[in-house]
Amino acid sequence: MGTAKKILALVLTAALAFGLLSDRSLALSGVGDGTSPREWRTESTAEVTEPAEPETPAPTEMEAPTVPTEPETPPETTVPPTAPSLSRDDIIRISKNAAVQKTREEELLRASLLLAKRLARLAEMSNNTMAVCRTSGYVNVRNAGSTSGKLVGKIHNNAVATVLGKSYGSDGTWYHIQSGSVEGYVKSEFFVTGAEAVALYDQIVNRFVELNDGVETLRLRVAPNGNSNVLTVLNSDQRYSYVGEENGWTQIALSDLVSGYVASEYVRVVLDVNTAISLQEEQALLEQSRAIIREYEESLEASRQESIRQSIAESKRIESLIARSRAEEAASIAESIRQSIAESSRLASLAESSKAETGNYQQGEFVWIPPEGTSDLRKSICIKALSYVGVTPYVWGGNSLVTGVDCSGFTQQIFRLFGISIPRNSAAQGAYGIGVHSFADARPGDILHYDGHVAIYLGFVNGIPMMVHSPTEGQKVTVQRADYRHDLRSIRNVIGD
């Protein structure tokens, strides 16, 4: 056995000794020729054992040499035997065999090193205490490992927790976890751990870049070097989507199409994952949602009162105009009065009907009435998004609801106001959360993903699916038909209810 195979045998022997590898694990790893590591260990031991020297029997007296009576004569000078000559084909064959043997040794050495790395990774994963929730909704967190335990919080799909221990009861296995501010017990059947959790974590974690403390602004460059052109200047009050790192430079994405580089020494990478939410935190979010609804109800009532006031003032103006008008203009003035009164009645009726519905939104002639059964959180998200209609301009790569956003920046910033973290670009948002089949199955607050574009779904208004979004250059946030495009890729529920 060659040097490389001896190394591989020793690695496998050590893995078996420390319990890091079984015969089945070796077969699944793809390393080896199908023989057991224990057989390799035996083979290695046998091969490195030096063979015993053959025993030479001690000479007996009968076999003892006799002393010659005649003096020895020096041997005749002889010509040493000539080595057999090798042909050119023999030399080529011997060279090829040596090269093949060397290649096999090198391949076996690489395989042993790869297996050593895999064993180290396996040892690391065996000590990993991370767990990821896998469910269609959420799992209750209790203060004891039993369904009779008191409810202390909730953990939603793809949320991450640290396993502190296990307990076993008549109703199954329970994990003792810490997730965010919540500590408690959950049913183990709704979580994945170990290597599967590590692999899933890489898919669900959001990576953001923030400027280091004391760095107020930072240049974003086209290429990873200090001589390339400057794209823009980053501010310390924003966080940016992380792409990767290259030779001391960190790549940042401003939007789906725009990215650049900053010197890594001036920034830090922040990992953001969803965690459990306590009952107190959930109640605080509900109170925040209700406060937003109350604010918009009061705004709607003020708008209704202003509409009535303007209608009355307009009626008085027209009445005064009639009084001053000449007789021949009476018919025209009367028609104007009739139309004005009709319009005033229509506006008052519209405002009154809007007020009757909790959480309604009105802007001009557009009135949004949440579908029956819409949760307070979903109402709040839609109302907050509608509040920027006609106000916030479209800015490519923008992340500010005040100075401007693009389509994915608008959706990300709206959900961020309610403690919901989603990716920055439209393609990632289109794959995040839970898939929804159609407009009929979707609910207000879901994300609509088109080819290179995203929007927030409002539901059906007068039988038409509607959405609110930041459309394109030169326009502001607006309300539009959701079926105005024919390239809808997916509908995603990122709220998790």
The whole-number mean pLDDT for each consecutive block of 10 residues of the chain, a chain of 497 residues, reads: 57 51 42 41 38 43 42 49 67 81 80 69 63 92 92 94 90 92 94 89 90 94 94 92 92 90 94 91 89 88 88 83 66 61 51 43 69 88 90 91 92 91 92 92 94 94 91 92 91 90
The token pair that represents 286 in the structure block: 């509900």
Identify the pLDDT of residue 44: 36
Amino acid (1-letter code) at residue 224: P
How does 17-46 read in b/e, with b if 16+ C-beta sit within 10 Å?
Answer: eeeebeeeebeebebbeeeebeebbeebee
pLDDT, position 259:
93
What integer pLDDT is reported at residue 360 of this predicted model? Answer: 53
What pLDDT score does 415 carry? 93
Distance CA 286, CA 300 (A): 21
pTM of the model as a whole: 0.42
Question: Which residue is listed with tokens 């599967």?
Answer: 196
Q: In this structure, are residues 467 and 448 in contact, taking their beta carbons and an 8 Å threshold?
A: yes
CA distance linking residue 215 with residue 265, whole number of Å: 11
The CATH classification of domain 130-203, taken from the options 2.40.50.140, 3.30.360.10, 2.30.30.40, 2.60.40.10:
2.30.30.40
SS3 at position 478: strand
How far, CA to CA in Å, does 312 sit from each of 11, 303, 317, 347, 365? 91, 14, 9, 12, 19
Q: Name the residue among 442, 441, 423, 444 with its Cα closest to residue 432.
A: 423
Task: State the pLDDT at residue 26.
Answer: 43
The torsion region of residue 429 among left (phi > 0), alpha (psi -120 to 50) and beta comes to alpha
Give the integer Cα–Cα distance in Å for 245 and 263: 10
**φ and ψ of 325, to 5 deg:** -75, 155
Beta bridge partners of 168: 173
Contact 426, 453 (CB under 8 A): yes
Q: β-pairing, 478-481 with 464-469? A: antiparallel
CATH architecture of 206-272: Roll (2.30)
Domain 368-493 fold is endopeptidase fold (from Nostoc punctiforme) (3.90.1720)
pLDDT given for residue 139 in this prediction: 95
In the prediction, which pLDDT does 257 show? 86
Length of the chain: 497
Strand partners, 241: 208, 253
